[in-house]
Chain A
Amino acid sequence: MSVTNTRRSRHIGITLSKRTGLVFILPALILFTVFVLYPLLTALSYSFFNWTGIVRGDFSVLDNYVTLFTKLPYRDQVPNAFFHNVLLFVGAMVFQNTVGLGLAVLLHRLKRFKRFFQTIFTLPYLVSPLVVGYLWSLMLSPLFGPVNFILKAVGLEEFAQPWLGNPATAIWVVVFVTAWQWVGFPVLLYGAALGGIPQEIEEAASLDGASSWQRFREVTFPLLTPAIGTVSVLTFIGAMEAFAIPYALGGSQGSPAGATDVLSLLFYRTAFESGASNAIGTSSAIATLLFVFIFGVAVFITWFMRKAERKLY
């Protein structure tokens, strides 16, 4: 192995015997297997059985999955909830890659107060999603919520409305609140990525007479691809797993009229609130579909972004 070889070869060395290595890994492996892996695999198996309360019945092949798509209320609720998850993903992506990216670019050029703004933008990200949801539900209350109060005070009375009571606005409230909470993350991530772009590249481009928009589009933006990839994957996972914010804003029923329902809520209701006798079977089928979908798409985005990166460099 030559000395001038890459860092990698120097870094991955072997100093532990297999046996000692196992000793090191064992505690984590046991914990992970018992509390993550075993429940995960068991949950998959649950979905192939017919249940009566907590008593497992016959092997039912795909019956529970068929139920999800053919029987009420699932055949209505599954697509409805899924559509809201997609809206959440798209909405958050748009918000993060416009507002978030814009803020990061502005911050990048800023001389003073940079840390201050970073702190302010990131704060909502740290607050519990449940607290965020409840806080906004109070803010938007039609009776004495500050939001409608402000709208009325500045003469925008016609915009004052029961935001969470109208299905047309309720889901957008969920989207906005989610995006509002998450925006600090892309600001920091894009900020760091921008900071990592060598000044020379931008300067060279600007000497070539490129306008600042051209510079951004052709130099900066491609260099941000890896960061955008990371944001996409995390936003996707976050949007598909959304639970606490919709729960706090619309309750477990996704009120009004299912307008804020998402898949995690549907899973929760089916498993624990429906009182249906096959609750375990049906809810495990929902869980399994979600496992496959989230994991599959996350892996795909990761793979796709890696490919895109490779093309760039």
Chain B
Amino acid sequence: MSDLLQISELSVCFGQGPRVVDSLSISIQEGETLALVGESGSGKSVSALSVLRLLDERHVSYPTGEIRFRGENLLTVSDKRLRQIRGQKISMIFQEPMTSLNPLHTVEKQIGETLALHRGMRGPQARERCLELLALVGIPNPESRLGSYPHQLSGGQKQRVMIAMALANEPDLMIADEPTTALDVTVQKQVLELLQELQQKMGMAILLITHDLSIVRRYADRVAVMEKGKLVEQGNTQRLFESPQHPYTRMLLDAEPPAAPATSPEGQEALLQVTDLDVRFTTQKTLFGKVKASFHAVRAVSFDVTKGQTLGIVGESGSGKTTIGHALLKLTASTGSIKLSGQELATLNQKQFRPWRRRIQIVFQDPFGSLNPRMSIAEVIEEGLTIHDADNLANHEHKVIQALKDVGLDPDSRHRYPHEFSGGQRQRIAIARALVLQPDLIVLDEPTSALDRTVQKQVIQLLRDIQTRYGLSYIFISHDLSVVRALSHKLLVLQNGSIVEYGNAADIFQAPQKAYTQELLSAALFYQNNTTTN
């Protein structure tokens, strides 16, 4: 068997820094799918980018190793030859379809560019090839899409266009760097299946980079596991999943979130009652402020949250789940009734609502954006206390320390700044900030989406512990059904701002009633089922 791409003893450094990739040796055969997995910062993307030498050459250096593509060392090849290989023999698709297409170019122009560059195809010939490619990647009605700009396409369609661009010259190797991370689960499944189908049709090899092991199990032939720049294990997918050798691999495989939440005491009263919540965003106004057009983000949504329980809200992007969270906290204007312990909150203005904020807190998705980089951890956590507990200054430090202990962080680290912490630690800090006010309800807006699986599991465990310890209620907003399942007692499924299904989480997961829920569940849990049955 011939090696299509052989990476041997590759090391990568940035500036004078340590080796980001250290003596990596992997090889890819013709027509196979190799998955490169690892947590963020393990060097998998850097390795992939160095195959095409796409890293900034001013900063990067390769102390050892070589990358041979059909025997040719890509690290020493001339720029001209490299450009011939890029897009022609080896092509790449990126994680973020929103930003990897040029917003000023039409679909035809983007795909046509690679065609013109490598094959000299122009005019009607190129147009025909574009149509062919768009049809190949399953874009319905390709003629009408040729003139579209990226913003007119959905996320899944953009990723398909990216794939069409990558396929344009029938490459021998496609590098897919987290191709589906930014997509909804249903779309994710479609895109991956498309890739697999195309691979069989065209016989190309795929280097799939991902942190999601469930995808790997389903689509990869072989797996290479990286930890901190080093290859720790590689092998057949089947073999690796069944008998992982390295403890790190075992930890990764073990990082699936637990299946069901802890049972909570029965017969508790409802803490929060929401009736007919409606949110509209104005998109167009007349000169005198009369609303001409608006976007109905949340339509007449009603739900209860029981004390000490978790309500999971799931839905694809744009379904209005985050908007509901923001409306509850009056970060977005809404109509309808919101009752906390029987007290109507919807009619309060911002000032009247301020004392209530102590009881409803929120944790945001992005652990990097939700902490002010200019404030130390102690200041971040204490801020809420200075508003709601201003008379009790002496007690603040003690409370901050307690909150840090609650979220499993070292209280001595409280004088450090957010950038000194990892993503998972920052999310703990954000939870501590909410927790220090002793709220009744915490809105968790995708708190684990930006984290690695292993860290995700820890955060979920933490949230469950805190819930049982303090009898907190959560509203858990996520698109990741496996995480939602691990925490939710009740479940609310949203589509385009309306409730599709609402009820006991266990019931819905077991026997979804509506077609949309079934589709969502099958796409999301497809991989998990696969894992458990094997």
Chain A complexes with chain B: no
